[in-house]
Structure 1
Amino acid sequence: MLWLHIIQYSGFFLAQITNAALVYLILTKAEKLFGTYRHVMCTFAMYSLVYAWIEVFTQPVMHIKGPCFIVFMESPLKYTGWIGNFITCLYCGSFALVISLLAAQFFYRYIAMCKPELHPKIEGFKLTYIFIPCLVCFVLWFEFVYYGMANTVEKQIYMRKELQSYYEEDSTRVAFIAPMYWLINEKDEREWIIGDLIGSAGCVCIIAVCFSTIIFCASSIYFTMRDASCHMSPKTLELNRQLFFTLAFQTLLPFVMMYSPVGLLIILPLFEVYVGAIANIVPATLAIYPSLEPLIAMFCIKEFRKTLCCRKSNKISSKATTYMTSSSSAIL
């Protein structure tokens, strides 16, 4: 638990630094390069800052036992009743915004590259339209978790010994959400809990829809760039390639660090795979993720990389010049 909290706090502070740096680069360097698209990039970076705050307010701990997967709070707000449960659901709902905002970025690039005749329809104030599906995904995920994975007495009883022995935590007091897929009734028969199954299936469907959108848009953009390479100027083609690879890596990172592990945690209880406290590898990767995401844009986009490297070089050369001047003065 100590190491998990160290990782969570470290990830939070690093995320504030890296995302703030990316927002600064977008605001100062991206206007002439990307036009309206810079607003979409900036929205994603700003949301990463918010996600880091939600994560540190929750400080989630995860555990799997039998058909139950639990996410409970370990922050100072863990005994605040409905407030703690609401924040935990908000933390889970934030996963939907990450993947849906990435899908929105791919959709914008798809319109710009493959359907330029539709581009005026997402310019100016109309740009906000592409974020509406993101909010819908967030609300749906929140509702699936809030109602489909609710904190119930049955789950408190089922996880009481497990939480007490591993974390010295009282399941009747701590805020948590947990999908529990079935109970064993008096006849020793498996009784499926339909609400929890629907909640988990809904979350998986949102991930599938968003990733399908990304794959469709990414493949269309790739083939369009390949076919139009002889019609574009080298500079324009290079810029589009930088944006394409930036988005590709920004999608691959959460797929590895966020959605694949979370998807496994949702599915494994169906097969009663006992994972126990090893599941806390997942909140550790979720805490690190928002600090790494902006680094991809910083180093994949040439103008951002040049700005960072030049400033570093200028500082080094400035120090060297100062040193040489002082040395010359001493000799004189």
Structure 2
Amino acid sequence: MLWLHIIQYAGFFLAQITNSVLVYLILTKAEKLFGSFRHVMVIFALFSLVYTWIEVLTQPVMHIKAPLFIVVMDSPLKYEKWIGNNITCLYCGSFALLISLLASQFFYRYVAICRPGILSKIEGYKLILIFLPCITCFVLWFEFVYWGMANTVEKQEQRKSYRDELKFYYNEDSSKVSFIAPMYWSIGKNGEKIWNFWECMSSVGCFVIIAVCFSTILYCAYKIYRSMKSTECHMSARTLELNRQLFITLTFQTILPFVMMYSPVGLLITLPIFEVDVGRVSNFVGASAAVYPSLEPVIAIFCIKEFRRTITCNH
């Protein structure tokens, strides 16, 4: 756990630096380059900063042993259940908001390049409209976790082997520490599986949010690429170059979270259903999610030429 927390704190401090630099570059260099898209970029960067604060307040420790996966709070607030469980739910909901904000960037670029006729409908104060689905994703994920993965007495006492694992690996008492955990089934008196429908549906809901966000990104990326290829001969060299830089930036900003967030969290949700016990190896998910917000801004800083020139003092 020492190494996990070192990674979490390192990710937190690096994210403060890289996201702050990106916000500064957007505010000072991006107005003439990207127009209203800079607002979408800066909101994503600012929320990445907020996410890192929530993450370091939670310091999540994760463990998988069928029929449940557990996200245990390991910050100094972990024994304050009145707030600890809520912060842990907020951490999970913030993950959904982060990935949906990334999808909103792709959607804006899709409208700007593929559907310019309706761009005026999301300009100015109307820009808030593209963030409404993001807020919806956040609220839904928070509610799925809060109600469907709640910290209950049944889970605290669920079979001696689970309680012993928490004690052995993390030196934690499940009856005292804050955590969230979907328990997909319980064992009946005759040893039969009794599926917990609402807990399963809560996990399905979280998985659907990931799938919808990633599908939106893939669809918009494909349409943007096709549109740029078909109209590149009608664009000025400057416009074409800016669109190319943004497309490359968004492409890498898709690959990175797919590897570091989408796939790991998806596995965290689904592995217990198939009774795949990976134990504390699942903490790679927490470590990866802690590092990701510090790397995301680096892509924009070095893929967008004006930003890169400013950082390297090469004008």
Question: TM-score by structure 2 length?
Answer: 0.98
Q: CA RMSD in A?
A: 0.9
Distance 2:223 2:187 in 1: 49
Alpha-carbon offset, residue 82 of structure 1:
2.5
CA deviations over 1:17-59 (Å, ceiling 9, x no partner) = 0000000000000000001110000000000000000000000
The answer to whether the aligner puts 1:290 opposite 2:289 as a matched pair is no
- Show the counterpart of 1:106: 106
- Show the counterpart of 1:247: 250
Distance 2:99 2:268 in 1: 18
- Show the counterpart of 1:330: none
Q: Give matches, 1:12-31, under 5 Å.
A: 12-31=12-31
Q: SS of 2:173's equivalent?
A: coil
> Which structure has the larger Rg over C-alpha atoms?
1
Q: SS of 1:237's equivalent?
A: helix
Q: Give matches, 1:197-236, under 5 Å.
A: 197-236=200-239
Distance 2:215 2:250 in 1: 15
Distance 1:138 1:33 in 2: 30
CA deviations over 1:64-94 (Å, ceiling 9, x no partner) = 1121100010000001112100000000011
One-letter amino acid matched to 1:185 = G
Distance 1:284 1:100 in 2: 21
One-letter amino acid matched to 1:149 = M
Q: SS of 1:273's equivalent?
A: coil
Distance 1:216 1:31 in 2: 27
Alpha-carbon offset, residue 151 of structure 1:
0.7
The answer to whether the aligner puts 1:186 opposite 2:189 as a matched pair is yes
2:265 to 246, 262, 266: 262
CA deviations over 1:91-134 (Å, ceiling 9, x no partner) = 00111111111111111101100111101111110001100000
One-letter amino acid matched to 2:3 = W
Distance 2:19 2:149 in 1: 32
Q: SS of 1:72's equivalent?
A: strand
CA deviations over 1:210-264 (Å, ceiling 9, x no partner) = 1111111111110000000100011110100110111111111111001101111
One-letter amino acid matched to 2:243 = N
One-letter amino acid matched to 2:16 = Q
Deviates more, 1:210-219 or 1:222-231: 210-219
Q: SS of 1:69's equivalent?
A: strand
Say how many residue pairs are matched. Answer: 312
- Show the counterpart of 1:323: none
CA deviations over 1:126-172 (Å, ceiling 9, x no partner) = 00110000000000000001111111112111232110111110100
* Contiguous gaps of at least 5 residues in structure 2: none
Q: SS of 1:172's equivalent?
A: coil
Q: Percent identity?
A: 70
- Show the counterpart of 1:75: 75
Q: Give matches, 1:292-331, under 5 Å.
A: 292-310=295-313
The answer to whether the aligner puts 1:133 opposite 2:133 as a matched pair is yes
Deviates more, 1:245-254 or 1:23-32: 245-254
- Show the counterpart of 1:150: 150
Distance 1:82 1:137 in 2: 24
One-letter amino acid matched to 1:136 = T
Distance 1:171 1:221 in 2: 49
Q: SS of 1:228's equivalent?
A: helix
The answer to whether the aligner puts 1:277 opposite 2:262 as a matched pair is no
CA deviations over 1:282-309 (Å, ceiling 9, x no partner) = 1111111110000000000000001111
Distance 2:251 2:50 in 1: 22
CA deviations over 1:194-217 (Å, ceiling 9, x no partner) = 111011000000111111111111
Structure 1 residue runs of 4 or more that deviate by more than 3 Å after TM superposition: none
The answer to whether the aligner puts 1:160 opposite 2:134 as a matched pair is no
Question: TM-score by structure 1 length?
Answer: 0.93
* Contiguous gaps of at least 5 residues in structure 1: 315-332
Distance 1:137 1:43 in 2: 16
